[in-house]
Amino acid sequence: MVLSSPYSYGQVIKLTDWQTKKPVRAGVPMKTVIPSHFLANQWAIYADADEFLFLPPGISTVQDLIKRLERGRYRAVVASLVDFFPAQLSFTSHEAPENLEDLIKEASFFDPIPLITLDPDEGKIIRLNKGASSRILYKHGIYQNPWFLKPLPSFVKRLPYLKKHQLTSSAISKTPLIRWDSDVRMVGSHRANIEAQPGLILTSAHFKFTSDLERRIKMAIKLRSYSGKSRKYTRLAKLMHPTSDSGNSLLGPDSKKFNSVEDFIECELMTVPDGF
C-alpha cells in the first residue's frame, strides 16, 4: 500500500487535537495517524530507508520477537541508533546496495560505546555517550556553534531565540517497534508517549555516511524538510569539501569493524534480559 499526502514531511502545520499546541512537522503526526488507523492493536516497525533493526541472538524473525514481547507484556522497544560508516568517505559512485550485506560491505565500521540505558524504575531513556555522527562532525569542524554563543552561560543559550542558531547532537536512540493501542502516539520523530520496559535495548544500524550522502544532502537542502529547515544538512555539506587535516577519514580511536550482532551486546549497544 502506498499513501500520499498534500503535506510534505517537513512542512510545519498546526493541529487542534494534537498533544501540543506548538507547530509540528507534518511527518510527526503522520507517524501516529497511519499505524493507529491501519494497525490498531498490532505491532508495527517504523524505520527510515537507511535504518535496519537487528534482532537479538537466537531470534531469526520479527514474528518470533513479537511473540516474546507479548509474553513479557511489552508495549514498546527502544533501540540504540548506531551510525555505520566507512574508513574513508567517498563520493565515488557505487552500485546501489540491494540488501543489508551490501550496505555493511560499503560502511562496515561503528563506534563500540554504549549510547543509552533505561531507568530501571520508569523506563526513561538515559543518554550515556554521543554517537559517531556527532564525533565525525566535531572532528571535521562542522559541529561548531556560532562564535557569539561561546561566552554565554548554558541557561542563556536555552532561550528560544538563541536555540535556533545551535545544532543539537545527532539522535542516538529510537523507538522502532511499538504496539499501537488506542492511547499510543508519537511525541517526536523518534519516540512514543509510552516508556519502554527496562532491560531490553535493541540496535538499529544507521547508514548515513555512504557514497549516496552527497545526493541526500542536496535533496535535504532543497526540500528543507528536516529539523530546523535542514540546517544540519547545510553544515553537513562541508564534508563534501574537507578542509581539515583529517581529510575524509571517519574513523575514531575506538572504531571497529562489524562482525556480528554479538558485537553490540559486548559493548552494551544491545541488552537482552535473562530469560527473554
Enter the pTM of the model. Answer: 0.82
- The verdict on residue 2 lying in a domain is no
Give the residues of the chain that fall short of pLDDT 50: 245
Residues 176 and 173: their CA atoms lie apart, in Å, by 9
How many domains, in total, are found in the chain? 1
What is the domain extent for residue 52? 12-266
Q: For the chain, how big is the Rg over CA atoms in Å?
A: 19
CB-CB contact of 247 with 172 (8 Å): no
Burial track 145-177 (b if 16+ CB lie within 10 A, e otherwise): eeeeeeeeeeeeeeeeeeeeeebeebbbbbbbb
Residue 110 in any domain: the answer is yes
Maximum Cα–Cα distance across the chain: 54
pLDDT of residue 239: 74
Q: Which three cell numbers stand for residue 212?
A: 549516496
Amino acid identity at 91: F
Name which of 262, 243, 135, 257 is nearest 203 in CA terms.
Answer: 262
122 lies in some domain? yes
Question: CB-based contacts of 211: which residues, under 8 Å, 6+ apart?
Answer: 90, 91, 92, 93, 94, 106
For residue 195, give the 3-state DSSP assignment.
coil
Give the pLDDT of residue 184.
86
* Residue 274 within a domain: no
216-229 residue pLDDT tens: 888 877 776 666 66
Instruction: Give the CA distances from residue 35 to residues 186, 256, 259, in Å, rounded to whole numbers and listed in that order.
Output: 11, 37, 34
Q: Would you say residue 169 lies in a domain?
A: yes
User: Is residue 3 situated within a structural domain?
Assistant: no
pLDDT value at residue 132: 92
Q: How many CB atoms lie within 10 A of CB 275?
A: 6
Q: Which distant-in-sequence residues (6+ apart) come within 8 Å of 250 by Cβ?
A: 85, 86, 87, 88, 89, 109, 132, 136, 209
Residue 272, domain member (yes or no): no
Q: How many CB atoms lie within 10 A of CB 262?
A: 9
| Amino acid (one-letter) located at 260 | S
Nearest alpha carbon to residue 80 among 103, 105, 43, 113: 113
Contacts for 212 with CB less than 8 Å, ≥ 6 apart:
none
pLDDT, position 273? 94
Please tell me whether residue 238 adopts helix, strand or coil conformation: helix
